[in-house]
A and B are shown apart, each in its own frame.
Chain A
Amino acid sequence: MAVSVALGLVALVWGFPTLWALWATFTSSGGGVTLANLSGALAAAPFGAYALNTVLIVGGLLVVQTVFGALVGFILARYDFPGKPLVTGLFLLQIVVPVYAVLIQDYEIVQGLHLLDTRTGVMLPYLVSGIAILAFRQAFRTVPRELDEAARMDGYGTLGVFRRVYLPRALPALLAFAVISVTYHWTDFLWPLIVTNTAHARPIVVGLAAVAEASESGLQWNLLAAATSIVIVPVLAVFIAGTRRILSAFAASFDW
């Protein structure tokens, strides 16, 4: 009983701001239900373009990180070759060194490539994810070698074995990694802030900050709430749809 009350209180305090943002979005100052705030926010900034940028950046990164993660993870899990510790160390370095620590160097690289204010420029430093490689390596290691051998007996080449035996086993790892990657890049702020400056490449979170800055003097809170809702509703919807699966995938991915 006491536990329920405590949990309820925590849920109230932690959930209230989200609830409020949604409430302020869909009510007018008179108290009625309205979509005016939403359309006002959409008119105040090119949120459609921002959202498209975010989807392309987050989705593109997930695909590329997954491909590299699966390939490298497979090699590290199943082959011994000269230089392997060094290779593993290099990918661990990617996990250990936060992008923030090499922010200025990476900015100069992207600038040198004339990729400032492009979606490619935002994605470039993140294309390889050490976390993805570790997650896949761990999942592939649990595949019994007998299965591998049997598939080879059946005449499959390395690629066929990889696709038919290994990839299906790695689906939970993939889901867990997808959750980590998508939430990270969806919410990432400082890097996209410095490499973008127009709606051409700017993701929605940076756009929201720009709206917040602009409205600070005018204080149109309902517009700001609506803009905030536009940013949080998509992730919230995914989380509500898959609450338990996401939470358990998360728990499993930190069981290595």
Chain B
Amino acid sequence: MAALTVEAPAPRGRALALPRVLAIYLVLLVPMGLVVWFVAWPIVATVLHSFDHIGVRGTVGAFAGLANYRFLFAQPLFAVVLRNTAIYAGLSVVLCVVLAFLLALLLTGRGAVSRLLLVAIFSPTVMPMIAAANIWLYFLAPRFGLVGKILAVFGIHTGNLLGQPGSALGVLVVLFVWKYAPYFTLFLMAGLQAIPQSVREALRTEDPGGWHAFRSVILPMLTPMIAFVTTMALLYAAETVDPVYVMTQGGPNNATNLLMFYLYQLGFNYFAWGGAAALSALLMGGLSSLSALALIGLERRAFHWQ
């Protein structure tokens, strides 16, 4: 489609007269100004300020070299937080993508799926994480919580799942998978549906069992979308803060303190704005490269099809 319109007889990219160019920039002025103000300049400022002394009230002082970064890396808690985030993100992403993939196959492999089923499966997607965390808090309540009772039926007695370091982080992983697996299923379904009907028909007649066709044709076609979803999941996991805030406040004993919650604490609880600035700069570099990767993945998918 896109290629056709480019070839259309109407001249594309005719040289515009100066008044026209000025008019265009006049329209672009406000939206561009807003992005510069709230995104582009803050990026520069975040990096610059991370090398300055910053007072408890957030006022920027003299050049400090690497002092903020040294402060951050000298915090014993920072290493714990990094480790927590790595474990949490690793487990969450792998489980989430595998489950989303299976779910996408289940949902596209057949005709109409009943609306009740769809609403049930996608209800976590439209629910705010805070609301989901509240409900799970109830399910996990010690003694009368549903999860404890169900596990007890199988002879597993857990005590307070949110009160023990390992299981508390595990609960956050399960919550992430439950909340986001259907969301990523949507993207993978879009990917599956984009595979032309003729290709699927041909595969069905040539290889009725389907496994070989799946591995040699469908899976490669889906690879860019899987890459995109994986990167997005990693980004979401790295940004997780809502359930930590509601369910654990980083505890017990900082076992569920994740990067974004730690940043919040550094700034708004401890007023260690210098350390917060350094962590912001690092996060910005990491998160932005991740989402750039995701976007490139999506663009490559577009090239793949056109």
Q: Decide whether A and B assemble into one complex.
A: yes
11 A–B contacts from the bound complex (CB under 8 Å): A17-B124, A72-B31, A75-B28, A81-B16, A90-B32, A90-B35, A100-B260, A109-B37, A128-B31, A130-B35, A209-B130
Are the CB atoms of A96 and B291 closer together than 8 Å? yes
Chain B 1-42 interface mask (CB, 8 Å, partner A; 1/0): 110010011101110100011001101101110111111111
For the complex, what is the distance from the CA of A193 to the CA of B129, rounded to whole Å?
14
Residue in chain B with minimal CB distance to A149? B10
Contact A106 B38 (CB under 8 A): yes
Which 8 A/B pairs are nearest by Cβ-Cβ distance? A15-B120, A105-B42, A80-B13, A145-B10, A102-B42, A187-B128, A101-B284, A11-B120
Contacting pair B263 A14 (CB below 8 A): no
B121's partner among A15, A96, A254 (CB-CB below 8 A) is A15
Contact of A189 among B134, B242, B263 (CB under 8 A): B242
Across the interface, B119 reaches (CB within 8 A) one of A102, A149, A239, namely A239
By a CB distance below 8 angstroms, the chain B residues around A61 are none
Taking CB atoms, residues of chain B closer than 8 Å to A227 are 134
A175 to chain B, nearest CB (A): 14
Q: List residues of chain A with CB within 8 A of the CB of B35.
A: 90-91, 93-94, 128, 130
Query: A49: which B residues are within 8 A, CB to CB?
Result: none
B77, CB-defined interface residue at 8 Å:
no
Report yes or no: A145 in contact with B8, Cβ–Cβ below 8 A: yes
Number of A-B contacts (CB under 8 A): 262
Binding site for A on B (CB under 8 A): 1-2, 5, 8-10, 12-14, 16, 20-21, 24-25, 27-28, 30-32, 34-43, 45-46, 49, 58, 103, 106-107, 109-110, 113, 115-139, 141, 146, 178, 182, 186-187, 189-191, 193-194, 235, 239, 241-242, 245-246, 260, 263-264, 267-268, 273, 276-277, 280, 283-284, 287-288, 291-292, 295, 298, 302
A222 CB to nearest B CB, Å: 10
**B135 close to A103 (CB less than 8 A):** no
Would you call the interface of chain A mostly helix, strand, loop, or mixed? helix
Docked-complex contact A80 and B126, CB < 8 angstroms: no
Name the CB-closest residue of A to B285.
A101
Q: How far is the CA of A45 from the CA of B10 in the complex (A)?
A: 60
Chain A neighbourhood of B235, CB < 8 A:
98
B128, A232: Cβ atoms closer than 8 Å? yes
B139 touches A87 (CB 8 A): no
Given contacts A7-B107, A14-B121, A92-B295, contact A183 B16 (CB under 8 A): no
What 1/0 mask marks residues of chain A from 131 to 170 whose CB sits below 8 Å from any chain B CB?
Answer: 0000000000111111011000000000000000000000
**A251-B189, A255-B190 known; A17 vs B132 contact (CB < 8 Å):** yes
- For the complex, give the distance between the alpha carbons of A225 and B122 in Å: 19
A251 with B190: CB separation less than 8 A: yes
Knowing A68-B31, A102-B38, A189-B242, the reply to whether A208 touches B264 (Cβ < 8 A) is: no
Q: Are A236 and B129 in contact (CB under 8 A)?
A: no
B273: chain A residues at CB < 8 Å are: 104
Contact A96 B292 (CB under 8 A): yes
- Encode contact with B along A220-236: 1 for CB under 8 Å, 0 otherwise: 01001101100110011
Instruction: Given A11-B117, A102-B39, verify A194-B10 contact (CB < 8 Å).
Output: no
Across the interface, which residues of A come within 8 angstroms of B45, CB to CB? 105
Task: State whether A81 and B21 are in contact (beta carbons under 8 Å apart), knowing that A11-B120, A104-B276, A183-B126 are contacts in the complex.
Answer: yes
Task: Write the nearest CB–CB distance from A248 to chain B, whole angstroms.
Answer: 9
> Does A20 lie within 8 Å of B24, measured CB to CB?
no
